[in-house]
Amino acid sequence: MLGSTWTSLRTDTRVGSSEEASLAAVSRLPGPVADLWQWQLDGSCRRENPDVFFHPEGERGPARRSRDSAAKAVCLGCPVLQSCREHALHVREPYGVWGAMTEYEREATYTPAPGFPAAS
Ligand code: SF4
């Protein structure tokens, strides 16, 4: 999920908080080279309400599925879906729909750390 509002979400209070385990893997982020971020300028979500892509606290069940589906519908028409998905998987974005995948769908693709069971 991209755009100016999205950018502020990325730098919100989670950064530097005690929830560091829930942050994107900052060390995996591309460097400050504009070409590496250029795809974000073409994201369809830049014209959408960011609330569609990030669940409010406590959202569950049908409301969550409906919001996720609406976000995925935007993604499926997005010209940079593949770049977005690759980015989200690479940096392990912990929140929101990126590249038509929810955080849970992304988590399910990650290789578990030794000694930990795979996500279900
Ligand atoms: S794939 Fe979805 S989240 Fe990614 S840039 Fe496109 S619309 Fe935004």
Which pLDDT band, with edges at 50, 70 and 90, does 12 fall under?
A: very low
* Every domain of the chain and the residues it spans: 23-107
- The answer for residues whose C-beta is within 8 angstroms of residue 81's C-beta and 6 or more apart is 75, 99, 100
Which pLDDT band, with edges at 50, 70 and 90, does 119 fall under?
A: low
Residue 2's pLDDT is 64
Question: How far apart, in Å, are the Cα atoms of 13 and each of 23, 36, 60, 84?
Answer: 11, 25, 23, 23
Question: Which residue's alpha carbon is at the smallest distance from atom 2 of ligand 1?
Answer: 75
- CB 45 less than 6 A from any atom of ligand 1: yes
- Residue of 6, 37, 81, 106 to mutate, ligand 1, most atoms within 8 A of C-beta: 81
Ligand 1 atom nearest the C-alpha of 46 is 8
pLDDT in tens, 24-35: 777 777 777 777
Mean pLDDT of the chain: 83
Residue 27's pLDDT is 74
- CB 3 less than 6 A from any atom of ligand 1: no
Residue 42's pLDDT is 97
